[in-house]
Chains A and B, each alone.
Chain A
């Protein structure tokens, strides 16, 4: 249990029999004070634990892959082998899956997203970090914005400005009358809902997962007391927290995969109008 949990749980003395109510963790466990603040122009940048962890992820990813691929051999060994598995997974499992051979151009883009999102998620179970970077809404929003400002211009460039919106809003094979309904819906769905869900899906999963683990961790701590209910409850809560942590490992990878796959699908759709 980290210091955050102890603080969130209302202090070291707050237990079941000490006349202290259960201090359920809430939104406050996603709030971090600025460690360092600097201003560029009129905008103040707050480096919090989360932004620090994000930058740490950046350094780790760059460090690992630049090291792994520093002088790649035909017969891979060690780090190169691991890195190659990642590369082939992105290329064959995501890029080519969503866009075919054309997807090869976007492998670096998708590769960066997958590993940045994954490692950001993974920070949720790293001791002392223990906060998924992506459970802070601004971060998934930032990622979704990057994807959005990638596929929309690609779509406009490839299909032409009017072609892009026409293909999007007037899918073929639909009775003409339906376009009255369909066109605004398609526009909403693609231009507004799509980026929002792209960000929220990742955020909500990480947020909820972290909150669950925190709740059970707090419960395990809170229930420590000289009573049968306390002991059983505490042990059970701890077991659940551990189990959820294992589960979270899967979710983290899965959400990173989904985020990247959706990015690939959006770009693929922009390259060719869906018919």
Chain B
């Protein structure tokens, strides 16, 4: 390549002096070479300094953003799944509780009914017993009152009977006395 450049430069030099002869197309004039290199260096320097770092950074940020977005979405999905799981568990628990409550209520109901029934029975027995006692008391009271009245009436009747013949017959008197004693015994007994 160096040979080519040298030869070409020679041709250029020759033609430059002559002005008529065409230089080779493979001529490499040193000024064009330098301008070419400088042109590249300007483009490289300008782009590397002013344009490309920005876009590089932006592309990195975009990658981050996309990756971050995917990560966030995955996290949200996992969270949603967890939440759904939790809700499902809670629902199942609630259902269980409800059924337990229902069973309990049923048991309670029969217990309450049983209790009420027993109470009613007791109350009825009490009432019956009270009534019987009352009845008994009333009867004994009536009996004693009747006995007393019968005695009195008997005495009255006997007095009326006896008033006529009591002085007459000592036996009668004796009988009345026995009778009264009997009555008294009966009343007290």
Number of residue pairs spanning A and B whose beta carbons lie under 8 angstroms apart: 133
Bound CA span A266–B27, Å: 26
B31 within 8 A of A: yes
Bound CA span A62–B46, Å: 6
Complex interface: chain B residues within 8 A of A165 (CB): none
Bound CA span A58–B36, Å: 10
Bound CA span A66–B55, Å: 10
A73 within 8 A of B: yes
Q: Is the CB of A207 within 8 A of B29?
A: no
Min CB gap A129→B, angstroms: 15
Contacting residues of chain B (18-47) with chain A, CB-CB under 8 angstroms: 22-37, 39-44, 46-47
Min CB gap A200→B, angstroms: 9
B27 and chain A: residue at smallest CB distance: A137
Contacting residues of chain A (130-163) with chain B, CB-CB under 8 angstroms: 136-139, 141-143, 145-146
Bound CA span A100–B175, Å: 152
Task: Known contacts A69-B54, A87-B59; decide if A45 and B31 are in contact (CB<8 Å).
Answer: yes
Bound CA span A68–B52, Å: 10
Complex interface: chain B residues within 8 A of A195 (CB): 1
Task: Count how many chain B residues have C-beta atoms less than 8 Å from C-beta atoms of the other chain.
Answer: 41
Complex interface: chain B residues within 8 A of A54 (CB): 35-36, 39
Among B26, B37, B51, B65, which residue has its beta carbon within 8 angstroms of that of A65?
B51
A39 and chain B: residue at smallest CB distance: B31
List the one stretch of A26-34, A170-178, A234-242, A244-252 in contact with chain B.
Answer: A26-34
Bound CA span A57–B44, Å: 13
Bound CA span A195–B23, Å: 23
Complex interface: chain A residues within 8 A of B40 (CB): 112-113, 116, 142-143, 146
Q: Is the CB of A199 within 8 A of B1?
A: yes
Majority SS at the chain B contact face: helix
Complex interface: chain B residues within 8 A of A182 (CB): none
Majority SS at the chain A contact face: helix
Task: Known contacts A28-B22, A44-B31; decide if A137 and B8 are in contact (CB<8 Å).
Answer: yes
Complex interface: chain A residues within 8 A of B35 (CB): 45, 51, 54-55, 142
B5 within 8 A of A: yes
Bound CA span A209–B54, Å: 37
Complex interface: chain B residues within 8 A of A141 (CB): 1, 5, 28, 33, 36
Q: How many A residues are at the interface, by size bracket? A: 35 or more
B58 within 8 A of A: yes
List the one stretch of A15-23, A103-111, A212-220, A221-229 in contact with chain B.
Answer: A103-111
B4 within 8 A of A: yes
B48 within 8 A of A: yes
A80 and chain B: residue at smallest CB distance: B55
B62 within 8 A of A: yes
Question: Among B41, B46, B50, B51, which residue has the most Cβ atoms of chain A within 10 A?
Answer: B51
B31 and chain A: residue at smallest CB distance: A45
A8 within 8 A of B: no
Min CB gap A160→B, angstroms: 25
Q: Is the CB of A45 within 8 A of B58?
A: no
| A residues at B contact (CB < 8 Å) | 26-28, 30-31, 43-46, 48, 50-51, 54-55, 57-58, 61-62, 65-66, 68-74, 80, 83-84, 87-88, 107-109, 111-113, 115-116, 136-139, 141-143, 145-146, 192, 195-196, 199, 207
Which 4 pairs from chain A and chain B are nearest by CB? A142-B36, A138-B32, A72-B58, A108-B48
**30 A–B contacts, CB within 8 A, in A order:** A27-B24, A31-B23, A43-B31, A43-B34, A54-B35, A54-B39, A62-B42, A62-B47, A72-B55, A74-B61, A87-B52, A87-B59, A88-B59, A109-B48, A137-B26, A137-B27, A138-B27, A138-B28, A138-B32, A139-B32, A141-B1, A141-B33, A142-B32, A142-B35, A142-B39, A143-B36, A192-B1, A196-B1, A196-B4, A207-B25
